Chains A and B, each alone.
Chain A
């Protein structure tokens, strides 16, 4: 699976948009980009995933660059409860393999 690179930490003011970047320059054409987050002492929570088109759901938006070498997860109005470690993961479509977690980005939403 393609390797991803994320900043280790970010801060965001409450109520503002949180933009979390992820580089995946070696991504293959059939690999999806998944985002999960893990709030302290809880299991990871699925947020969103996409292949090449931008995606939006009730939690977040996912913006994937045209060359698919990077993506950005956007939390439009961050709250204190969004403080968590955010993981960007790429995995091939149809793969039976598990998700492999890197070190992620610790997002801290400040009051």
Chain B
């Protein structure tokens, strides 16, 4: 089946620093990738949608200058949390879709971010 990987699986950083999370589709080309965020005991909330080669579309309330998304190739998308603060501590999950005719979304294992 389609496999999506994320790196790192967890990261601890100091407040004010930036953190980059990578999302890769390992055995398929992903024209569309999604970034979700999940706080403890809550469901997944979509942050943004990115299509390869174009700017990401952010959900309402998500700061695009704080959460930088790059989808430079069909197998890689990155999320950079800039000037991270403790309230950005969360579980970040990426998802990729295989194509317009195969609509199943596959999810990465997630990245747990802790900002001190």
Contact = CB atoms under 8 A, between A and B. Distances in A.
A44 interface: yes
B43 A42 contact: no
B105 A99 contact: yes
Interface stretch (B11-19, B62-70, B73-81, B107-115): B107-115
Contacts, number: 52
B105 A43 contact: no
Interface residues on chain B, size class: 20 to 34
B92 to A, nearest CB: 10
B93 A44 contact: yes
B114 to A, nearest CB: 13
B107 A91 contact: no
Interface string B65-102: 00000000000000000000000000101010000100
Nearest to A97: B49
A102 B45 CA distance: 9
B58 to A, nearest CB: 12
A102 B44 CA distance: 8
A36 B95 CA distance: 13
A41 B111 CA distance: 9
Interface residues of A, number: 24
- Most chain-A Cβ atoms within 10 A of its Cβ — which of B49, B104, B108? B104
B46 A98 contact: yes
B104 A43 contact: no
Contacts of B49: 98
Given A46-B106, A96-B32, 20 more contacts: A32-B103, A34-B104, A41-B110, A42-B109, A43-B4, A43-B107, A44-B93, A45-B107, A46-B1, A46-B107, A49-B104, A87-B43, A94-B100, A95-B103, A96-B100, A98-B34, A98-B105, A99-B95, A99-B105, A101-B43
